[in-house]
Amino acid sequence: MSDKRLIVGLGNPGSEYEWTRHNLGFLSVARLADDLGVRMKKSSTVKGLWAEGKWESNEIILLLPHTFMNNSGTAVKQVVLSKKIEPQNILVVCDDFSLVFGQIRLREQGSDGGHNGLSSIITHLGTKEFSRLRLGIGPIPPHKNSVDFVLEDFRLDEKKKLPVLLDGAVDCCRAWASESLSTVMSRYNQKIVV
């Protein structure tokens, strides 16, 4: 197995989903690709967009699954098998409505927390032992259905703050790729970046 690191942004493909809350993982990893100066491209072997780049001395693969959220694990498993990536070298970036907007939380492993994208990845990889970076989009307003909430576009006030949140997510991803997990967790967890 290689020491390559895989960073996955979760979301749904298609312009109608681009600015929805559920696409915060997509938006973050796309921003990271820009930051690393790499271009996301289609592949004949992976159901999604992907790119390879470097951060300091670390080889990084970026992935945006195009399988829709509930089947994200299909594309992740394709990359893991073809590039021989260990679970501990995977970071999944996703939205989380249990965190307030702008809060970020990095975890070494854990349950899916009710997130269908994480659930699919756990099922396809057969393990929960991969890192996840959860980005706050909450709270859900009273009497609002969670599915409707995550598939709505960001509000105008949220869109204005979004660049700062995306920059915070990118900084955390780069730190995860080059520093110890405990150091990065202590720096970013519970932090509200906007």
* pLDDT bucket at 54, cuts 50 / 70 / 90: confident
Q: 22, 66, 115, 143: which is the annotated catalytic residue?
A: 22
Q: Looking at residue 1, what is its pLDDT?
A: 40
Half-sphere exposure of 167 (CA within 13 A, CB side): 7
Q: What is the CATH number of domain 5-192?
A: 3.40.50.1470
Assess whether 124 carries a catalytic annotation: no
pTM for the full predicted model:
0.96
In this structure, of 10-14, 76-80, 145-149, 186-190, the range with the lowest mean pLDDT score is 186-190
- Tell whether the torsion through CA atoms of 109, 12, 149 and 159 is positive or negative: positive
Q: Looking at residue 3, what is its pLDDT?
A: 77
Question: 5-29 burial string, b = 16+ CB within 10 Å, else e?
Answer: bbbbbbbbbeeebeebbbbbbbbbb
**Is the predicted pLDDT of residue 43 greater than 60, yes or no?**
yes
* pLDDT bucket at 194, cuts 50 / 70 / 90: confident
Q: Residues 133-156: what's their mean pLDDT?
A: 95
